[in-house]
């Protein structure tokens, strides 16, 4: 069983569209569909903003469906010159940038563990780059702040969910994969760019279509 999650319903629509449906339902106010793509069984859901909601929804669905793999696919803001809107990013490392841990030395980061799914997505999503994603409960739309975050964390992009998702999966000892698409560059044009590129990329089902194509052709758990 694979649990696939997106922030917005449009981000998981390709899974529902290509799925042989077995069940539809609702859990903690979030609609879900369960079915198969290729030889993979999965359940897909969406609807969370910020770290608390992300962790809560992820944990509740893990409890309900006992997945062998969890996948997060949604948008992110680029903070590195290595990316631009439309770039697909596969997360290799995750860190909360708005958490201070004065009693510990250094920063706490979560690595994506090696798994069949992680290997397959890196191999078969050929237009993706692999890199670090940082997470915080705020929208960054300032060039100076963005550049400071890049200098501090050397990440590719940031969002409001990946690190919480990764931590929840790790604590449940479940392999996980995060696949993002860049929608803005966390600068003064971020709101305008997000709206434009969300319409262009997320409404057309990127990067979910990339995941679906891998699921159709490969068993990944």
Known catalytic residues? 11, 184
DSSP 113: P
CA 18 to chain centroid, in Å, comes to 20
66 Cβ neighbours under 8 A, 6+ residues apart: 1
State the Cα–Cα distance between residues 48 and 55, nearest whole angstrom.
9
Strand intervals (E) in 47-87:
69-78
State the Cα–Cα distance between residues 36 and 10, nearest whole angstrom.
19
Q: Which token pair is 48?
A: 């969370």
Crossing angle of helices 208-217 and 116-124, in 10° steps, is 110
Q: Judge contact between 79 and 41, C-beta under 8 A.
A: no
Q: Which token pair is 91?
A: 């997360």
Q: Judge contact between 211 and 71, C-beta under 8 A.
A: yes
Task: Identify the H or E element spanning 179.
Answer: strand 176-184
Three-class secondary structure of residue 2 per DSSP = strand
């Amino acid at each position: 069983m694979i649990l696939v999650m997106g922030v917005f319903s449009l981000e998981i629509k390709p899974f529902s569209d290509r799925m042989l449906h077995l069940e539809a339902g609702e859990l903690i106010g979030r609609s879900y569909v369960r079915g198969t793509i290729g030889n993979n069984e999965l359940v897909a859901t969406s609807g969370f903003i910020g770290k608390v909601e992300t962790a809560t929804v992820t944990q509740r669905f893990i409890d309900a469906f006992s997945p062998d793999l969890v996948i997060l696919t949604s948008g992110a803001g680029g903070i590195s010159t290595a990316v631009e809107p439309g770039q697909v990013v596969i997360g290799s490392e995750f860190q909360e940038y708005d958490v201070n841990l004065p009693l510990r030395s250094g920063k706490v980061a979560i690595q994506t563990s090696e798994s069949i799914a992680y290997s397959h997505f890196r191999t078969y999503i050929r237009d993706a780059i692999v890199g670090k994603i940082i997470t915080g409960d705020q929208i960054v739309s300032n060039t100076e702040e963005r550049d400071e975050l890049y200098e501090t964390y050397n990440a590719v992009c940031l969002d409001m969910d990946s690190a919480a998702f990764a931590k929840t999966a790790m604590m449940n000892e479940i392999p996980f994969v995060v696949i993002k698409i860049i929608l803005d560059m966390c600068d003064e044009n971020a709101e305008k760019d997000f709206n434009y590129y969300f319409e262009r990329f997320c409404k057309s089902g990127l990067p979910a279509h990339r995941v679906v194509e891998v699921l159709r052709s490969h068993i990944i758990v």
